[in-house]
Structure 1
Amino acid sequence: MSLFSDNLRYLRETRRESQQQTAESFGIKRGRYEPYESGKVEPPYDILKKISLHFGISIDLLLSVDVRKYDLSQLLLLDDNRIVLPITVDANGNDLIEIVPHKARAGYLTGYADPEFIANLQQIALPFLGPGKHRAFPVGGDSMPPHDDKSFIVGRYVENLGEIRKDKTYILITANEGITYKRLAEKHGDAITVEPDNVIYSPYQIKLSDILEIWEYVAHIGRDDRKAEAPTDVYGMFADLKREIGSLRQQLG
């Protein structure tokens, strides 16, 4: 038996279906289905997708999480069963904002879909943010001033890539970079171009296939009340140079 086969049996029995009924819903015979549930054979991708849609749970949870431990009604199901997002709520059912600390940055890349990992994060409530699922992420580096290593960005979960807008800032969870906070510069067919607000750093592309989650900026939490320093001469020089290059491109275009 495997974690996946245990999950499959549990989900079928929860729905009070026979193996024959479940197999028929996938368009296969019981003899082909039974080895998936006993752990003797792993299903191909097309069957795995049908299993995910039939039971209303994402593939990553089916393969990596013991679903018997969780109340599936407390997971946020997104369109077309693309992903099931773990959420936390208070005793009254109100949304709680999980805080991803600096020490959990690396772990978030593998734990973002694990309800146990999310449940163990600290939570706060910010009722003024309004509807939507929110989460707070640490900022790293100096690419997005005035936010620094002491700041946290609170983001609202973006369910559809079509919702993202040019010039807005987003927390992007990607397979390569992990957690990154950048401004959207352009949208392409299979990628997006993001740019830091610090002009010293260059824009770059991220493939849509590498994006695991997107959170739109709604607020930030900072621990530094020092007055922002005036840009140095070097910073100003780069800013002027960037403006000149942009103006030249427009003239040539």
Structure 2
Amino acid sequence: MKNIQANIRHLRLLKKLSQERFADELGWSRSMVGSYEEGRSEPPIERLIDLSNYFNIPIDILVKNDLRRAKDTSFIQIGTKRVLFPVTVNEDNEDLIEIIPAKASAGYLEGYDDPEYIEQLQKIKLPFLPTGTHRAFPIKGDSMLPVKDGSFIVAKFVEAIGDVKSGRTYIVLTKDDGLVYKRVYLPEGDEENVLLSSDNKAYQPYLVSKENILELWEFTCCINTQEYDEKELKLSSIMTMFQELKVELEAVRKF
């Protein structure tokens, strides 16, 4: 359990605690903390439970992951647990993003909070991404045209619903619907729900309870896996042009 000795010291220092103060918080002796951090002994299951409860981090993450490789100390809420969510890096300390394969996207609802599920996902490097934790999600259907079926949306993890920017597009994980890619609006005067809207107006917008939302990922970029044909390119260009001219068209309408 080489990771655990490094993780104990790393997490203790993040909390700015001395070994003595940390030992007092856990009801341990200072020599016990020193022994675990220096690798002279390994904590038994009872001590691992103490650590898990104190840091609110599952035991398997404490044991299997080197948390020093995390680039930040952000946490995500999973049920009543706050779980450390490290940015994955490779041997050269470069950011990697996990790819949710299309065939496995249905299982993301069950596996999103399982470190073993996340660990086995394929990873790629996209050096142009801004800082933060990113994943690539498969897109199904035509509800968000011109984004094509089979494309991947690369999105940045959003820590809280309060950080949502109304009108932007997000990957949303809900208890009822699993993964969806929608434009998210915050209805005025409604503190309990968000409005999910498709760019393809053939699909009706709908309300989702904030309590039903498990994860939010803000759009960063789109990766198309298929070529556009000539007709689609024209349609995409026209749609983009009208979206950009929306303000001007509304201004003209007033005259």
TM range (shorter): 0.5 to 0.7
Deviation (angstroms), 1:21: 5.3
Cα deviation, residue 221, structure 1 = 0.4
Match of 1:89 in 2: 89
User: In the aligned structure 2, how far is the partner of 1:51 from the partner of 1:200?
Assistant: 48
CA spacing shift, 1:51–1:91, aligned 2, 3 Å: closer
* Structure 1: 4+ residue segments shifted above 3 A: 14-21, 72-77, 79-83
1:21–1:133: structure 2 CA closer, same or farther, 3 Å change rule? Answer: closer
Assess if the C-alpha contact under 8 Å between 1:95 and 1:125 holds in 2: yes
Aligned-partner Cα distance in 1 for 2:65–2:125 = 23
- 2:102 and 2:234 map into 1 onto residues whose CA distance is 28
TM-aligned CA distance change 1:74 to 1:109, over 3 Å:
farther
Q: Using the alignment, how far apart are the partners of 1:89 and 1:150 within structure 2? A: 26
- What secondary structure sits across from 1:83 in the alignment? strand
Distance 1:218 1:20, change over 3 A: closer
Query: Quick check: 2:75–2:84 contact (8 Å CA) kept in 1?
Result: no
Shift of 1:73: 3.3
Determine the structure 2 residue equivalent to 1:192.
194
1:204 aligns with: 206
How big is the shift at 1:100?
0.5
**Which runs of structure 2 are paired with 1:238-253 in the superposition (5 Å)?**
none
- Contact 1:98/1:123 (<8 A) preserved: yes
Aligned to 2:253: none
| Residue 138 of structure 2: aligned partner | 138
Q: Does the C-alpha gap of structure 1 residues 162 and 156 become closer, same or farther in structure 2, counting only changes over 3 Å? A: same
**Match for 1:69 among 51, 59, 64?**
64
1:79 CA drift (Å): 5.2
**Unpaired runs of at least 5, structure 1:** 1-6, 25-35, 232-253
Deviation (angstroms), 1:213: 1.2
- For 1:44-59, what aligned pairs fall within 5 Å after superposition? 52=53, 54-55=54-55, 57-58=56-57
Question: TM-score, normalised on structure 1?
Answer: 0.65
Q: Are residues 106 and 73 of structure 1, via their aligned partners in 2, closer, same or farther at CA, if it must alter by over 3 Å?
A: farther
TM-score normalized with structure 2 length:
0.64
Aligned residue identity for 1:206: V
Larger deviation, residues 160-169 vs 185-194: 185-194
Provide the rounded CA distance (Å) in 1 between the counterparts of 2:129 and 2:233: 30
How far does residue 77 in structure 1 lie from its aligned partner after superposition? Answer: 3.6
Verify: 1:121 aligned to 2:89, yes or no.
no
Query: Which residue number in structure 2 is paired with residue 249 of structure 1?
Result: none
**Conservation of the 8 A alpha-carbon contact between 1:86 and 1:113:** no
Q: Indicate the residue corresponding to 2:151 in structure 1.
A: 151
Residue 225 of structure 2 corresponds to 223
1:229, CA displacement in angstroms?
Answer: 7.3
How do residues 167-182 of structure 1 correspond to structure 2 at under 5 angstroms?
167-182=167-182
- Say if 1:194 and 1:122 are closer, same or farther in 2 by CA, change over 3 A: same
**RMSD between superposed Cα atoms in Å:** 3.5
Maintained 8 Å contact 1:86/1:114: no
Contact in 2 for aligned 1:154/1:218 (Cα 8 Å): yes
Aligned partner of 2:26 among 22, 26, 39: 22
**Percent identity, aligned pairs only?**
38
